[in-house]
Amino acid sequence: MIEIRPIQQHEIQAAKRVIFTVAFEIFGGADTLEESIAKFSAQGKLSEMDDMQKNYFENGGTFLVTVHNGRIIGTGAIRRVKDDVCELKRLWLLSEYHGQGLGYRMMQELFRIARQKGYKSMRLFTDPVFQKRALEFYKRLGFYQIQTVGDDPDDIGMEIAL
């Protein structure tokens, strides 16, 4: 059975591993997955996940996981940018689960939560070169490109009205 639900504290490391695994498949950059995890962990990548309560749940958002038979296979989150705008964060799904509608299901749940919290729009930032598949997915959902700049100068901003 596959379910989408809020992350639990003891699942943070497993969720990080999913994100690092998918990022390794997309971006590469190290000889092994373990080396990549060690490198990016040392750089503080995903450090905001260490305090989920503060950075997501108390920041007008949520952090969800997709779970298959007790194993985390995907993640997705939102957090406040400003009063009526939230940001999509950490949408990752293990590649062996692509094409099953799970990313769509996660997004529908995040849209529902964002609307429930009173957000009028959702923004995201993605790499248009390495994450072409994600970019096309976001376009199919109705996201359009905006000029807002994120943390990475190579990323493009996108937004959707809720």
List Cβ<8 Å contacts ≥24 apart for 90-94.
90/15, 90/19, 90/46, 90/49, 90/63, 91/124, 91/134, 92/18, 92/19, 92/22, 92/23, 93/22, 93/66, 94/18, 94/21, 94/22
Give the pLDDT of residue 154.
Answer: 74
Q: Is residue 6 part of a domain?
A: yes
Q: pTM of the full predicted structure?
A: 0.92
**Considering the domain boundaries, does residue 156 fall inside one?**
no
- Is residue 10 domain-resident? yes
Domain count, the chain: 1
What does each C-alpha distance from 57 to 2, 7, 48, 90 come to in angstroms? 23, 10, 12, 14
Residue 44 lies in a domain: yes
Which domain does 73 fall in, by range?
2-119
Q: Would residue 129 count as lying in a domain? A: no
- For residue 42, what are its two tokens? 């040392």
In a domain, 111, yes or no: yes
Q: Mean pLDDT, 10 residues at a time, over the chain (162 residues)?
A: 95 94 83 84 87 94 97 98 96 96 97 98 91 93 85 83 98
In a domain, 162, yes or no: no
- What's the confidence (pLDDT) of residue 149? 63
